[in-house]
Chain A
Amino acid sequence: MFETDSHEANLLARASLDHCVKCTICETQCPVMAVTPAFSGPKYVGPQAERYRHGLSVDHSLDYCSSCGTCTLVCPQGVKIAELNSVARAAMKKDHMPLRDRIISRTTLMGTFGDPVAPIANAVLGFAPARWAVEQVVGIHRDAAMPTFRTQTFTSWWKKHTSPTPTRGKVVYFHGCAGQYFEVETSIKAVEVLERLGFEVLVPKQGCCGLAAQSNGLFDTARDWVTKLSHQLGVEPGTPIVAASASCVGMLKHEAREIMGVEDPALIDVGTRIRDLCEFLLELSEAGELNLDFHPIEMTVPYHAPCQLKGQGMGKPAIDVLRLIPGLTVIDAQATCCGIAGTYGLKKEKYAVGQAVGKPLFDKVKEVNPELAVCDTETCRWQIAKSTGATVVHPIWLIHKSIFGE
């Protein structure tokens, strides 16, 4: 149960339940409800059940919500359904948080643990008996997609990197945990494209945005982290902040405020300045300032827009930017969710649900291009890759390839 003076007890999202007219549109779009009766659905768990809670969540099945946010996105009345669910989940877990949920939400910890011993860590995670043991003890499904640890972090590359002389203003680059430890190549390509555009790229010391902690209900931890990060990223007033991790961008843009009530001025400042990488490139393109030479790539690729990107209400900028590449055909997979939803699909009891949620997407990927697919967020890429066998990359990989060649 929450402290009675906490944000959770006095949540603005709770007031939004008054807008619900029970139209059920959220339930028709919920990807989890479509594949399992274990989840009672967003309308039930959100605006309906919330009337029966006063800081206590007795309906433990609400944990089957994947926090993909589709319900909030489609609600025509403005009910903050996913936010209500997140808060109710945090209340439920307040007193009995599983060890697993604490571990997988500490993305920096996993990275700093894994990277120095990457070959060993990767071998262990690829070794079936070890994964069985992890499932038994920690509750992460043996077949769930896990990141590949790199021997070099992004910042160790950055320290050795020599930047070209800038020809226009500065941008702050936010690499995120995945871009630091697991998806190092994505961060490098993003920085190289930004520098090719003439920007002076700044990489201040930075921690985790706390998204995984938040979606696992560890609000206090998540609040601390996102606030600290906002102060770290806000170093250059007025400078755009760019990140290749769309989900972390969503955390800074709106989730930290709407779900956890963080009102720190640094967060509000950073939240208005931050752009998803493709969003940033599209803004430049629309302003006629994307002066890049795109070389043709003759290929057809499926693209999946992650839930947390859609939740930012900015359309699908990656598709618009990728279509600047001659010869490249981008097929929007038009799937609701890949089923991973951050860390949801990793969990032993939810792995099958996640796979069922993602099946239409996996089928589409296999149909369009079984070799290569494109998606903006890390865990979704890992999920799609694991479930289809395709290589799945951030859009910047194709943009980079088109500009720089191999």
Chain B
Amino acid sequence: MKNLSADIVVIGGGSTGVGVLRDCAMRGYSAILVERADLAQGTSARFHGLLHSGGRYVVSDHESARECAEENAIVSRIQPQAVELTGGLFVVTPQDDPAFGDKFLAGAQSAGVWVEEITPGTALRQEPRLNPGITRAFRVKDGTVDGWQLAWSAIASAKEHGAQVLTYHRVTQIHSADGAVNGVSATDLRTGEDVRIACSFVLNCAGPWAGDIARAAGCSPVEVVPGRGVMVAMAHRLVNTVVNRCIVPADGDILVPVHTVCVIGTTDHKVSDPDHLEIPRNEVQQMLDAGEVLIPGFRQARALHAWAGARPLIKDDRVSASDTRHMSRGMAIIDHSGRDSLRGLLTIGGGKLTTYRLMAQHMVDFMEEQTGNVHPCTTADEMCPGGEKGHNYLITHRLKDREADRLESPIICECELMNRKMFTDLLKAQPNSSMDDWRRQLRIGMGPCQGGFCSARVAGIAHEESAVDADRATGLLKLFLEHRWIGLWPLLHGDQVRQAALDQWMLHGTLDLDHVPSSKGVEPEVTKPKEPLVVPASDEGKKSTTEVKEGNND
């Protein structure tokens, strides 16, 4: 048993948790973040990558719209490396009511969100693949954001201010005495060691899992309604600007160019268990059909990978519980001192990645109201590490980097242009990580071949560099491919079938990976699978399930 102590324990390593950790640390508190998996492995990475301009909410929710506009500018400034300033368009397709555009313009004006109407011709010149039948178009300041880059740079900032981070630690209990929280127990999932952290405050930022954490503190149930959204990444950027349908927010009305892909999203279904999110084929088809409305020919384009994320909405009695999209997007903070007579515990729910910094500010302000301390929030003023040059992400970055070093280090992941040195450098820093952990940092296997070519190379190099033995290298490779497959098979058609066939011949034919010996359990089980993962048969009835133990987006 390891003993630690801190002023504050933050539970959950998604965007909310890392924002809260950074805010606490910058206000001078000692703080420890506990996350059962890797950082930004749940909802914060299972989204479409949109950094909202606020445009989506100008008709329904002025306050959300205004917050998005302000936070978009702040995040783009303090974490420029995580954000691409793509700009956005709202377009009225032939299926949509042009009059909604007037509501949109009026809403933007009263919310203070920058919008500019342009002619359909101008929009088509900017994005030539757009539906030529669009009747109106509006420019907005949407951007795209890498949820992992955002989380890591916030964490790096928090660490500079003295914060600690425990990933792959599962919270087992929140301790209290005399009606006040006084500690958190957790288990290191990799070593099995127990950790006890003495603290005076716990901030529950576990998102869709916040109810489990409240239960670990002995509180009465917090009802979180996870809203499952399915997204599909296409093999290259069909647009270079975020494209939104100018309608009341609905399914499949956003197309987001992020990194080398573009993502169509999303569906919305109430689910009970955020650890087991289905990726139903009919929802994949629904997304492809929705894309067709924005970009004619979308269905023929190559779909790369599908994933599902869970919106962490706390139940709100004002709307029907089954309609999660129309629940408040604003955050909700549950004060357990009033509700459960337990001081020193706050639970946050709702919100959006775009406003993660503001949510953190509100939560820490709320905590200080209770503790009576007052420190100014400075998270909007200080740059996070890695963004000092002030350059926002550009799609051309990696190609330019490889142009400079292409003769020095061979390319290992061809689709995502990762060279050997990038990998061996990371391997030195994080020798005990899984291939999915490495993937999230370097985008290994996230391109069109989905790891078909690079995954065996990566496992081989890890072994060659003596970071892992042969048994672990094989185990990591098998696990990685199993996880890639989860997001592949619900959408297999067209070009991606040919790729999958070639990959299958190489990995399971030539390399006979199925019969290469390896022990089980190379990585900790973050969740227990509800049912064994099956290699899909052709029947439509079977459903793919995203295991939340590994991030799975594009």
Contact = CB atoms under 8 A, between A and B. Distances in A.
Interface of A: 3-5, 9-10, 14-15, 17-23, 37, 40, 43-44, 48-54, 56, 58-61, 77
Interface stretch (B124-132, B206-214, B359-367): B124-132
Contact of B399 (A3, A14, A22, A52): A52
Given A21-B449, A61-B403, A52 B502 contact: no
A50 B447 CA distance: 13
B305 to A, nearest CB: 14
Given A18-B301, A20-B448, A53-B399, A77 B498 contact: yes
B452 A22 contact: yes
Contacts of B415: 22, 48, 51
Nearest to B260: A51
Interface in B194-237: 235-237
Nearest to A17: B236
Given A15-B301, A37-B407, A58-B399, A52 B417 contact: yes
B465 interface: no
A58 B406 contact: no
B89 to A, nearest CB: 13
Closest 6 CB pairs of A and B: A10-B128, A18-B302, A52-B399, A5-B125, A58-B400, A51-B260
B128 A4 contact: yes
Contacts of A4: 125-126, 128
Contacts of A22: 414-415, 448-449, 452-453, 499, 502
Nearest to A49: B399
A52 B495 contact: no
A53 B397 CA distance: 10
B237 A5 contact: no
A22 B237 CA distance: 18
Nearest to A61: B403
Interface string B381-422: 000000000000001101110110011000100110100000
Given A21-B499, A44-B411, A44-B414, A54 B237 contact: yes
Residue from B126, B302, B398, B448 having most chain A Cβ neighbours under 10 A: B448
Contacts of A56: 396
A5 B236 contact: no
A17 to B, nearest CB: 6
A272 to B, nearest CB: 26
Nearest to B453: A22
Nearest to B236: A51
B236 A50 contact: yes
Contacts of B402: 59
26 contacts: A4-B125, A4-B126, A5-B128, A9-B128, A17-B236, A18-B235, A18-B301, A19-B495, A19-B498, A21-B448, A21-B499, A22-B453, A22-B502, A37-B407, A48-B414, A48-B415, A49-B399, A50-B236, A51-B237, A51-B260, A52-B260, A52-B399, A52-B417, A54-B395, A58-B396, A59-B402
B240 interface: yes
A136 B235 CA distance: 44
B465 to A, nearest CB: 24
Contacts of A21: 448-449, 495, 498-499, 502
B414 A43 contact: yes
A380 B43 CA distance: 59
A18 B498 CA distance: 11
A10 B297 CA distance: 13
A213 B302 CA distance: 33
Contacts of A44: 411, 414
A250 to B, nearest CB: 27
A62 to B, nearest CB: 9
Contacts of A77: 498
Contacts of A14: 236
A18 to B, nearest CB: 4
A1 to B, nearest CB: 11
Given A18-B495, A22-B452, A61-B403, A54 B414 contact: no
Contacts of B399: 49, 52-53, 58-59
Contacts of B240: 54
Nearest to B400: A58
A77 B302 CA distance: 13
A50 B260 CA distance: 9
Interface string B110-152: 0000000000000011101100000000000000000000000
A58 B124 CA distance: 25
A51 B260 CA distance: 6
Contacts of A49: 399
Contacts of A53: 395-396, 399
A77 B236 CA distance: 17
Contact of B396 (A3, A19, A43, A52): A52
A4 B297 CA distance: 20
B62 to A, nearest CB: 33
B125 to A, nearest CB: 4
Nearest to A55: B240
Contact of B502 (A3, A15, A17, A23): A23
Given A18-B302, A22-B502, A61-B403, 17 more contacts: A5-B125, A15-B301, A20-B448, A22-B448, A22-B453, A44-B411, A44-B414, A48-B414, A48-B417, A49-B399, A50-B236, A51-B237, A51-B415, A52-B417, A53-B396, A58-B399, A59-B399
Interface in B496-529: 498-499, 502
Contacts of B395: 52-54
Contacts of B400: 58-59
Contacts of A59: 399-400, 402-403
A22 B415 CA distance: 9
Interface in B469-509: 495, 498-499, 502
A3 B417 CA distance: 27
A52 B498 contact: no
B124 A5 contact: yes
Contact of A18 (B124, B236, B403, B411): B236
B449 to A, nearest CB: 5
A14 B302 CA distance: 12
Residue from B128, B399, B400 having most chain A Cβ neighbours under 10 A: B399
